Amino acid sequence: MKISKSKVRVIALATGILSSSALATAAFSENTYGPFPVTVKGYSGSKTNSVSYTGQIARHVLHDSLKKLAGKGDGGGNAAALQAEMMSYFGGSDKNKAIIAPVDKGDFNIKQETVNEISSGKNLSGKSYKGAVTAWPGQMTGGEVLASMIAHAAKTNGGFDPSTGYNFPQLISKFAMGAVFYNQAVDNYLDEKLAADNKPNSKPYKDGAHYTGKEHVWDEAFGYWGAAAHSLNLSASENYEVAKMKNLSAADANGDGLIDLKSEMTFAHAYYASSFDKGGNTNYMSTVTQAFIDGRALITSANGENLTDAQRAQLVAYADVIGSNWEKVIAEAVFKYAGSVYKDITKLEGLMAENGDTTKAFATYGKHWGELKGFSMALQVGKKNLGETAVKMNRLIGYGPVLMNASQVTGVDSQGNFIKDEAQSWGEYKLHMLKLQSMLADQFGLAAKVNDQTANMADLADKLGSADSAEND
Amino acid sequence: MAVQVFDFGISLFEHLFDPKKRLFIGYLIAALGIAFFWLLISKKLTIRLALRKIFDRKVFFSTSSRADFKVFLINRAFTLFISPLLLTQLVVATFIFNLLLKVDWGTWSFALAPSKAVVVASFTFCVFVLDDFTKYIVHRWMHKWPLLWSLHKVHHSASHLTPITIYRTHPLEGILFSLRSAFTQGISIAVFFYLFGNQVDLFTVLGANVLVFVFNVAGSNLRHSHIGIQYWRWLEYILISPAQHQLHHSIATEHYDKNFGATLALWDWLFGSLHHSIETEGLALGVEDDTSEAAHGLYALYVLPLVEMANYLTKKTKELKAAIWRVAHRLRWRAKPGLKNRIKSSS
């Protein structure tokens, strides 16, 4: 069969149009974060996917490992060595470190075993919140607070200090997620780095990079969020199970039987978002992740040129959706643990009245309080100053949990030791938790409201019955 | 509309099967039993006479009782449309709860840590007592304030009492009752949640507050009946007997403004409105100034109270105007000499 030249041209053109539109579809309407094509001008390398956020995943792994280490203290004997090890995960960037968490669990096999397999030279301390943390005694920066917590954690037995009620693994983990991930994402990458002249889209992020300035800025923010690249294809429960390492098939997007931490794992706040969404009243996980994907598609569509004002305005709008929902996720967590603390105290009061053994219940109380405090501190290191809300929140929670003898940490001395003082009754502290829940629900418009201590109010009103029929006694 | 008609049909019967309502079939049967045995034992009637007495045609088919039923039907329809607009106890509770959370109690300590059972028992008791107390107060106002009496008179115009008479209530009065209930329950819920959080609950039997259940099983429906059960004198200081409430409906002047209580007689005792029961056989019931047939017509039951209220308000407005005019007039007389003096001194 003979095909004329003109026919060849038509077929070639048609194929070209079809394939380029197919590529565009692939790039802009996918449910996954990447792959996105390389758009940077003048790139001559072999890379075809411009998505890169391995540095953030490395920090998630450093954080998970640090949390695990924080519970390894033996009561003082290994304090110095443990502190040094924790500090190497927190602040060091020299040697290749083993991943302590997450590691294989049953059939949930993790692809990487060392941090450098993900990204080398990364640490947490360099990216920790630089402002003063008023929620913690000592007038320290975010990084200093974490380093001080690490020092204290190393001296404890299993991470818990009964004399202050501090559960350091929880405090370190929940605050670090805010002071590093949330702060870096919403107060840096999704804030000043979205400005036109900062990391422009018309240039590579750095010389020779296969991604533009804006592409990488956006990717880094997404990396800190912690969602798996394919998380939109999963339900809230599945995302939750991925973080809990219970659902291999949901996590293993490429079906190779291994979980690639670089793209297939759920970390940090994305995990908490899915845990709230599971309840059915919210969809923080998909809202935030969708905004990230849409934003990335928008940047890609600029094809290596600088973004127009309209495109940048749209990008900022996506960033606002991400920032406000991310903040809500943290506020929901504070809300949840305020409810846990309330319930824990009620339980402890019962045990005290019966002269029961309070050791276990007290440790649980300390754990929940650590989460409460850590998340509340994280909430305050975002983009905006929470002002009066932060002041009130810090006063309601205090520097430490109210202990069995009604004392509470009230500050630190010049040596960094915690000072305790007679504080308030448990009844009063419980009331603080109710106030905190009420304030958070109002200020942040919460909807998941897990552990809502007044949720039974509506049921009770129903039980009492309405008086709409006019009965004349 | 069809849905509403259906709802209406259902709502007529739901009272019979809802243990939270006075007319629940179980409570009616309990009242029947109590009445029956009381007539047998206390009044020494034969079974036949006792039954004839209980199911007295003269009572149940009286003009007054037929009017009760009409009002019940009309009010149900009215309630169907108005109840979604009314303030609920949950709104009140949430509002008060949030107010409480904003209050700074200073050094006052909440060192309360009772067990769940104690919390639930306290709530069940408090909500019952507070409910009964506010019923007493509102009922007292209904009698003492002329504007409210115009409404409450509809209930008192019944010349025969049957359990359905509790629904012989002007719709406006029904709204007041609903507000009273919303505030009472709302306050109880808010305060208890403030103190005890999610531990708060209600002890119930068949879904009703256990104390309300007991009150109803103990023959609450006999309050509005022709069976004048009297309690021991000492008990009538604490609980209102059916005969005490029937006396509250009496025409006789000496019985005016007595026994406002719903369940507890304590309030009447405390505030000086207690009257012990008397033999109610032959006691004339109703409102003294109008025992005619017309008193049971729809005009008298629905419109007349409004007319009376309007007249009362017109009269009071006139009096107020006159009073203001008198004061203004007096002030003007006083002002005049001063004015004159000022004019004089300036000229």
Tell me the sheet residues that pair with A422: A407
Do residues B339 and B246 share a domain? no
Do residues B301 and B242 share a domain? no
Domain assignment of residue A52, given as a range: 39-466
Confidence tier at A473 by pLDDT (50, 70, 90): confident
Residue from A342, A392, A428, A464 to probe the interface with B (highest B Cβ count within 10 Å):
A464
Residue reference for tokens 């999963």: A234
The interface predicted TM-score (ipTM) is 0.76
Domain membership flag for residue A4: no
Contact A239, A266 (CB under 8 A): yes
Confidence tier at B330 by pLDDT (50, 70, 90): confident
Q: B231-287, pLDDT tens digit by residue?
A: 999 999 999 999 999 999 999 999 999 999 999 999 999 999 999 999 998 899 988
Pairing of strands A418-422, B204-205: unpaired
Q: Could you give the 3-state DSSP secondary structure of residue A411?
A: strand
List chain A residues with CB under 8 Å of B210. none
| The predicted structure's pLDDT at residue B308 | 94
Do residues B171 and B303 share a domain? no
Q: Do A461 and B194 touch (CB under 8 A)?
A: no
Do residues B226 and B243 share a domain? yes
Q: A214-270, pLDDT tens digit by residue?
A: 999 999 999 999 999 999 999 999 999 999 999 999 999 999 999 999 999 999 999
Question: Rounded distance, CA B25 to CA A297, Å?
Answer: 67
Do residues B345 and B206 share a domain? no
The mean pLDDT value of chain A amounts to 90
Q: Which candidate from A458, A469, A473 shows the least CB-CB separation from B90?
A: A458
| The predicted structure's pLDDT at residue A14 | 47
Number of domains chain A is built from: 1
Which of the 8 DSSP states describes residue A171? H
Q: Which candidate from B94, B109, B177 shows the least CB-CB separation from A471?
A: B177
Over residues A204-211, the mean pLDDT reads 94
Share of chain A above pLDDT 90, in %: 79
| The predicted structure's pLDDT at residue A10 | 46
C-alpha separations of A46 from A49, A50, A209, A254, B337 in Å: 9, 11, 11, 22, 107
Question: Rounded distance, CA B139 to CA A263, Å?
Answer: 70
CB atoms within 10 A of CB A95: 10
Domain membership flag for residue A473: no
| The predicted structure's pLDDT at residue A21 | 42
Contact B241, B233 (CB under 8 A): no
Domain membership flag for residue A306: yes
Residue A177: name the closest of A63, A83, A289 by CA: A63
> Residue A8 pLDDT more than 50?
no
Measured between CB atoms, does B200 come within 8 Å of chain A? yes
Contact B286, B249 (CB under 8 A): yes
Measured between CB atoms, does B156 come within 8 Å of chain A? no
Confidence tier at B345 by pLDDT (50, 70, 90): low
Do residues B141 and B219 share a domain? yes
Do residues B287 and B301 share a domain? no
E strand map for A75-211: 132-133, 140-141, 160-161, 166-167
Q: A65-94, pLDDT tens digit by residue?
A: 999 999 999 999 999 999 999 999 999 877
- Shortest distance between the Cα of B51 and any Cα of chain A, in A, equals 26
| The predicted structure's pLDDT at residue A458 | 80
> Residue A30 pLDDT more than 70?
no
Q: Do B197 and A342 touch (CB under 8 A)?
A: yes
Closest chain A CA to residue B92? A461
Cβ partners under 8 Å of residue B157, min gap 6:
B64, B168, B286, B287, B290, B295, B296, B300, B301
Direct distance between the N- and C-terminal alpha carbons of chain B, in angstroms, rounded to an integer: 79
Domain membership flag for residue A14: no
A/B interface, count of CB pairs below 8 Å: 132
Over residues A48-55, the mean pLDDT reads 96
Q: B74-127, pLDDT tens digit by residue?
A: 988 887 778 777 878 888 888 888 788 777 665 555 555 678 899 999 999 999
> Residue B335 pLDDT more than 70?
no
Do residues B146 and B127 share a domain? yes
- Shortest distance between the Cα of A433 and any Cα of chain B, in A, equals 10
Do residues B74 and B181 share a domain? yes
In terms of DSSP H, where are the helices of chain B?
Answer: 2-17, 25-41, 47-54, 57-60, 63-82, 89-102, 116-144, 146-156, 171-196, 210-217, 242-248, 266-270, 298, 304-346
Residue B132: which region, alpha, beta or left (left: phi > 0; alpha: psi -120 to 50)? alpha
Phi/psi for B250 (5° steps) reads: -70, 150
List chain A residues with CB under 8 Å of B109. 424-425, 427-428
Contact A211, A205 (CB under 8 A): yes
Measured between CB atoms, does A464 come within 8 Å of chain B? yes
> Residue A360 pLDDT more than 70?
yes
| The predicted structure's pLDDT at residue B342 | 54
Q: Do A434 and B197 touch (CB under 8 A)?
A: yes
Q: B32-80, pLDDT tens digit by residue?
A: 999 999 999 999 999 999 999 999 999 999 999 999 999 998 988 887 7
Q: B301-312, pLDDT tens digit by residue?
A: 999 999 999 999
| The predicted structure's pLDDT at residue A28 | 44
Domain assignment of residue B316, given as a range: 297-347
| The predicted structure's pLDDT at residue A321 | 97
Residue B280: name the closest of B336, B201, B225 by CA: B225
Q: Which candidate from B113, B155, B178 shows the least CB-CB separation from A468?
A: B178
Q: A363-383, pLDDT tens digit by residue?
A: 999 999 999 999 999 999 999
Domain membership flag for residue A405: yes
pTM equals 0.77
Tokens representing A192 are 């000043």
| The predicted structure's pLDDT at residue A427 | 81
Do residues B165 and B188 share a domain? yes
Between B31 and A463, residue with greater pLDDT: B31
| The predicted structure's pLDDT at residue B1 | 54
Which of the 8 DSSP states describes residue B290? B
Of B294, B319, B339, which one is at a domain's C-terminal end?
Answer: B294
Q: Do B79 and A468 touch (CB under 8 A)?
A: yes
Q: Which of residues 419-438 of A touch B (CB under 8 A)?
A: 424-428, 430-431, 434-435, 438
Contact A288, A225 (CB under 8 A): yes
| The predicted structure's pLDDT at residue A246 | 93
Phi/psi for B283 (5° steps) reads: -70, 125
| The predicted structure's pLDDT at residue A16 | 44
Q: A146-172, pLDDT tens digit by residue?
A: 999 999 999 999 999 999 999 999 999
Number of domains chain B is built from: 2
| The predicted structure's pLDDT at residue A422 | 84
Q: Do B75 and A470 touch (CB under 8 A)?
A: yes
| The predicted structure's pLDDT at residue A29 | 46
Do residues B124 and B184 share a domain? yes
Do residues B289 and B305 share a domain? no
Share of chain A above pLDDT 70, in %: 93
Over residues A39-44, the mean pLDDT reads 92
Domain membership flag for residue A403: yes
